[in-house]
């Protein structure tokens, strides 16, 4: 039984080299023209099964949004494989991707930029249906559109309005309706509640969970907010500098984080309610640049437990207990 989504050793690199003359560099008396490559995603592997919520967590620049865009082929991957329901879509072109776009849909972060300001709400919601290659009449489109609006808590009177007439939370509902329009099996939610106020965030999170229960699809939930990911996901993956450093069942990882970065992240998270009962780990410094990846472990510059092996050898993501994986040399003792 194949996974709904399987990502194997996914890599994504962006060439951001400036012009010819800007690249010119003289080192030790020799002229070189170095290319500037951003290593956004470096060998990421995970899978998502039917009906589950997989949370991808990390701070800014860790590559989580890039993964989302690569999975739906907004970019072509630089390496690795992507499988949807067992089908290898890594090198699919536009035409081949059309049926896949019915299976995988996206909800975006910014409610103010994710809806075309010049289109009516009904047109926005039904657009994926129109371009999914299936033949639907205009009347059917309208009917389905209104049904979707009601499903996300809006009304039929909203169908002919424009996005600027709605609040942030309502716009996000419209975005959700759009993603639902083709009955997908997997919805990739890229920071869907980060731009919303706390009280609206709760409404949208509840809505997303209710819809999932009702319609039975899966989420790839990308966020930097630890309390949100704790609430909504069944399993999580923690990312740093384009690498996955730890994965496992959410409960387990939060109760007993094993990678130093995960522990630092959980220690740093401010909390209104009770704090987590874990050994606090505090880190200093900043995330290093993705232009020049360090030779060994990606976390070496900030890890309080770094030792000699970490500087030479990149740790691999290994499963030491069933259902959990970490990439850290420290855990091999």
Partner 1 sequence: MLLFSKKSEAFLESELFHNFRGSYSAISGAGIIAFFVFIVVLGPSLVWQNPYDIASLELLDAYKPPFWIPGGDVHYILGTDGQGRDVLASIVYGTRISLLISLAAMVCSSVIGAALGLISGYYGGRLDGFIMRVADVQLSFPSLLIALFLMSAFGNGLGKVLISLTCVGWVIYARTVRGSTLSEKQKEYVQAAQAAGLPNHKIIVRHILPNVMTPLIVVATIQIGTFILIEASLSFLGVGVPITQPSLGLLVKNGFDVLLSGLWWTSVFPGAFIMLLVFGINLLGDFLRDELNPRLR
Partner 2 sequence: MSDRLLDIRGLQTYFHTFGGVIKAVDGVDFTLDHGEILGVVGESGCGKSVVGFSIMGLVDEPGRIEAGEIRFNGKNLARCDERQMRKIRGKDITMVFQDPMTSLNPLYTIQAQMEEVMKLHSDMNAEQRRARCLELLREVGISQAESRLNNYPHQFSGGMRQRVIIAIALASYPRLIIADEPTTALDVTIQSQILKLMKRLVKDHGTAMILITHDLAVVAEMTDKIVVMYCGRIVEKGSRDHIIHNCRHPYTLGLLGSIPRLAARQARLTQIPGMVPNILDLPKGCAFAPRCTYAQDRCRDERPELAKLESGHHAACHFPVMR
By beta-carbon proximity to partner 1, the closer residue of 196 and 236 is: 196
Pinpoint the alpha helices (H) of 52-189: 64-71, 94-103, 121-130, 138-151, 168-180
Q: Which of 14, 9, 134, 179 is nearest to 83 (CA)?
A: 9
d(CA 147, CA 166): 18
264 close to 283: Cβ distance less than 8 angstroms = yes
**Identified binder of partner 1 from the candidate list 8, 37, 38, 98, rule CB under 8 A:** 98
Nearer to partner 2, 100 or 152 (CB): 152
Query: Which residue stretch of 114-122, 142-150, 154-162, 227-235 sits at the interface with partner 2 (rule: CB under 8 A)?
Result: 227-235
60 binds partner 2 (CB under 8 A): yes
* Binds partner 2 by CB under 8 A, chosen from 27, 273, 308, 333: 273
Q: How far is the CB of 122 from partner 2 (least distance, A)?
A: 21
Count of residues that bind partner 1 according to CB under 8 A = 26
Q: Which of 155, 136, 135 is nearest to 147 (CA)?
A: 155
Crossing angle of helices 198-215 and 168-180, in 10° steps, is 20
Task: Give min distance, CB of 285 to partner 2, in A.
Answer: 9
CB-CB contact of 77 with 70 (8 Å): yes
Query: What's the CA gap between 322 and 164, in Å, rounded?
Result: 49
Q: Kindly tell me which of 9 and 140 has the beta carbon lying closer to partner 1.
A: 140
CA distance 289 to 291: 5
199: partner contacted, choices partner 1, partner 2, none (Cβ within 5-8 A by kind): partner 2
Report the interhelical angle of 138-151 vs 121-130 (nearest 10°): 110
Cα 200 to Cα 268: distance, rounded to the nearest angstrom: 25
C-beta closer to partner 1: residue 162 or 254? 162
Q: Which two tokens stand for residue 66?
A: 């890039």
Q: Three-class SS of residue 331?
A: helix
Q: Considering beta carbons, is residue 92 or 254 the nearer one to partner 2?
A: 254
* Footprint of partner 1 on 166-205 (CB under 8 A): 175, 178
> Considering beta carbons, is residue 6 or 105 the nearer one to partner 1?
105
Under the binding rule (CB under 8 A), the answer on residue 117 touching partner 1 is: yes
Contacts to partner 2 from residues 136-195, by CB under 8 A? 167-170
Tokens of 49: 């099964």
Distances (CA, A) of 149 to 83, 143, 145: 31, 10, 6
Interface with partner 2 (CB under 8 A), residue from 47, 254, 324, 330: 254
Sites of contact with partner 1 (CB under 8 A)? 69, 72, 74, 94, 97-98, 101, 105-106, 108-110, 113-119, 127-128, 131-133, 175, 178
Q: Under the rule (CB under 8 A), what is the footprint of partner 2?
A: 59-60, 167-170, 197-203, 205-206, 209, 224, 226-228, 230-232, 250-251, 254, 264-277, 282-284, 286-287
């Amino acid at each position: 039984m194949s996974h709904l989504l399987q990502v194997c050793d996914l890599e994504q690199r962006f060439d951001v080299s400036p012009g010819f003359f800007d690249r010119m560099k003289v080192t030790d008396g020799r002229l070189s023209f170095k290319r500037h490559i951003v290593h956004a995603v470096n060998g990421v592997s995970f899978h998502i099964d039917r009906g589950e919520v997989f949370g991808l967590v990390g701070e800014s620049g860790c590559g989580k949004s890039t993964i989302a865009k690569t999975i739906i082929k907004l970019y072509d991957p630089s390496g690795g494989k992507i499988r949807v329901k067992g089908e290898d879509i890594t090198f699919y072109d536009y035409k081949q991707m059309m049926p896949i776009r019915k299976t995988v849909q996206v909800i975006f972060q910014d409610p103010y930029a994710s809806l075309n300001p010049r289109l009516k709400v009904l047109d926005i919601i039904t657009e994926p249906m129109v371009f999914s290659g299936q033949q639907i009449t205009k009347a059917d489109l309208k009917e389905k559109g209104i049904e979707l609006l009601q499903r996300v808590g809006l009304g039929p009177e909203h169908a002919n309005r424009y996005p600027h007439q709605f609040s942030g939370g309502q716009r996000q509902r419209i975005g959700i309706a759009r993603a639902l329009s083709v009955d997908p099996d997997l919805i990739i939610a890229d920071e869907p509640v980060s731009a919303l106020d706390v009280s609206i965030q709760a409404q949208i999170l509840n809505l997303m969970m209710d819809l999932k229960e009702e319609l039975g699809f899966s989420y790839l939930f990308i966020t930097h907010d630890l309390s949100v990911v704790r609430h909504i996901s069944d399993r999580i993956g923690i990312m740093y500098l384009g690498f996955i450093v730890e994965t496992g069942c959410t409960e387990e990882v939060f109760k007993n984080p094993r990678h130093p970065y995960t522990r630092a992240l959980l220690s740093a998270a401010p909390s209104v309610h009770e704090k987590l009962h874990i050994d606090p780990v505090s880190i200093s410094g900043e995330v290093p640049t993705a232009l020049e990846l360090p030779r060994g472990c990606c976390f070496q510059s900030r890890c309080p437990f770094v030792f000699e092996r970490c500087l030479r050898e990149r740790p691999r993501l290994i499963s030491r207990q069933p259902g959990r994986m970490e990439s850290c040399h420290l855990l091999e003792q």
